[in-house]
């Protein structure tokens, strides 16, 4: 009979994996993740069959948390600029408040360990943001550009903004506003 699973242990493993990925990268051994989580190495495999399974769960969990934070108190009836700024501000605040999750997600995002199905599920959690971006660029200079290209440009502006906000917290709000203004000028 398999051991009963504990939500606390599962969460501890996911949190430990986030820290370990940031410190050691994706090649860190499962034994190190288990030790960081305070669970036996065998217990690790009670919750996640393989490290790849863990990485895919972690990717989705962080994506879902980030999407939830970004979309919090969103007003779909607002003008696209106002709504996009609200979403942007939430995104910047989440990233600055969760630097380890941001860094782990960046590494997981470029990993071959993340399956196409997991990537698709992650993109689905971000679908409302993609729809908003489409509305925001509908009549601007980027209206005919590939959707993926526009998303990549937005992510580049966002990453630069997050970096400056993190490096200079006293001016974080200023950087957030300037980053958004650059994004908006690109879209409109």
Q: pLDDT for 151-186, tens place per residue? A: 999 999 999 999 999 999 999 999 999 999 999 999
* H-assigned helices in 48-115: 51-71, 80-97, 99-109
User: CATH number of the domain at 55-187, please?
Assistant: 1.10.357.10
Q: pLDDT for 97-145, tens place per residue? A: 999 999 999 999 999 999 999 999 999 999 999 999 999 999 999 999 9
Name the CATH topology of 1-49: Arc Repressor Mutant, subunit A (1.10.10)
Q: In which band, very low, low, confident or very high, does the pLDDT at 6 lie, cut at 50, 70 and 90?
A: confident
Interval 23-43 mean pLDDT: 94
* Contact residues for 137 (Cβ-Cβ < 8 A; gap 6+): 143, 145, 150, 187, 188
pTM of the model: 0.91
Do the domains 1-49 and 55-187 sit in the same CATH topology, yes or no? no
Residue 49 has pLDDT above 70, yes or no: yes
pLDDT at 4: 56
CA distance between the termini of the chain? 60
Residue 130 CA to residue 135 CA, distance in Å, equals 9
Residue 166 CA to residue 160 CA, distance in Å, equals 10
Q: Residue 30, exposed/middle/buried by CB under 10 A (0-12, 13-18, 19+)?
A: middle
**What are the structural domain ranges in the chain?**
1-49, 55-187
pLDDT at 178: 98
Interval 29-34 mean pLDDT: 95
What is the phi/psi pair of residue 71, to 5°?
-90, 0
């Amino acid at each position: 009979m398999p051991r009963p699973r504990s939500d606390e242990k599962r969460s501890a493993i996911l949190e430990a994996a986030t820290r370990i990925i940031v410190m050691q990268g994706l090649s860190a051994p499962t034994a190190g993740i288990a030790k960081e989580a305070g669970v036996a190495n065998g217990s690790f495999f009670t919750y996640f069959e393989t490290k790849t399974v863990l990485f895919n769960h972690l990717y989705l969990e962080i994506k879902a948390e980030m999407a939830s934070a970004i979309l919090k108190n969103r007003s779909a009836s607002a003008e696209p600029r106002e709504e996009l700024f609200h979403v942007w501000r939430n995104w910047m605040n989440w990233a600055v408040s969760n630097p380890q999750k941001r860094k782990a997600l960046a590494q997981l995002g470029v990993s071959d360990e993340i399956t196409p199905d997991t990537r698709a599920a992650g993109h689905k959690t971000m679908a409302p943001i993609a729809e908003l971006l489409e509305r925001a660029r509908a009549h601007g200079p980027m209206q005919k550009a590939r959707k993926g290209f526009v998303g990549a440009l937005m992510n580049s502006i966002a990453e630069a903004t997050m970096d400056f906000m993190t490096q200079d917290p006293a001016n974080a709000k200023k950087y957030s506003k300037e980053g958004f203004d650059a994004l908006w000028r690109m879209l409109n």
